[in-house]
Amino acid sequence: MVETSITADTPENLFYRTGSLTLDGVSLGALEGDISFAVRREYDIPDVCGCRGEARGTRHITKEYAVLSANIVEWQLSTLANLVPGAGYSSDGSSEVLGSDTVERCISDDEYHMLVFTGTQCDGKTSTILMSNVIIESSFELTFRDQGHFSTPVEFRTTVTRAAPRSRPWAIARQDALRPILWETGELMLTELGEPIYMEA
């Protein structure tokens, strides 16, 4: 008999394709390659006297944030402006300018965003990753190819607000959930339809 971990539900639980990304409800356009999501933590681990290693139950979470990485291939200055907060963006309808602001200043509150990833599993159900108060973690890097298309890698990172400094600013949910509210923290709520609802902190 061959041992296997495959069950009758395996085909429905497979997840193919990368899905889509929106920033404050606006699509980031076509993407290339993989989208990766990770939750990163930092811990305080006391060196308890008499223990020859980490004492179980003493690990304390001191910081947690989520990051999402993707590769954007559409040349839209309005979209790219979100990838370099603080650079300044202006448009008069006939022309656009990115890079019109001063360098030495704080990133303002309106330059933090809501990022939503949406993908579909083989069973047709939608899975959603929501990240609130995201800021760009990566350097602003544009690649123009002699024989190929433009692309720019980007990495988003969650932050917390002054009003909710201990709230977890990310969540993963599936559309088949029946509860009217699955998750709530800080400024973000997730409904049964997988749609973000903005709230005041």
Angle (nearest 5°) at CA 175 between 172 and 181: 75
- Give the separation between CA 81 and CA 88, rounded to whole angstroms: 7
In percent, how much of the chain has pLDDT > 70?
85
**Better pLDDT: 61 or 121:** 61
Query: If DSSP codes are grouped into helix, strand and coil, which group holds residue 46?
Result: coil
Mean pLDDT confidence for 55-59: 89
pLDDT digits (tens, 9 = 90+) for 62-95: 999 999 999 888 888 877 877 777 777 788 878 8
Average pLDDT value for the chain: 78
Query: If DSSP codes are grouped into helix, strand and coil, which group holds residue 60?
Result: strand
Confidence of residue 193 (pLDDT cuts 50, 70, 90): very low
Q: Which of 81, 76, 135, 77 is nearest to 106 (CA)?
A: 135
pLDDT digits (tens, 9 = 90+) for 145-154: 888 888 888 8
Residues 97/90, Cβ–Cβ less than 8 Å: yes
What integer pLDDT is reported at residue 68 of this predicted model? 94
Confidence of residue 197 (pLDDT cuts 50, 70, 90): very low
Residues 97/89, Cβ–Cβ less than 8 Å: yes
Element (H, E) at 41: strand 36-44
Contacting residues for 9 by C-beta, under 8 A, at least 6 apart: none
Q: End-to-end CA distance of the chain: give it in Å, rounded.
A: 57
Reported pTM: 0.76
Residues 31/73, Cβ–Cβ less than 8 Å: yes
Running DSSP on this structure, what letter comes out for residue 2? -
Reading the block at residue 44, the tokens are: 């305080």
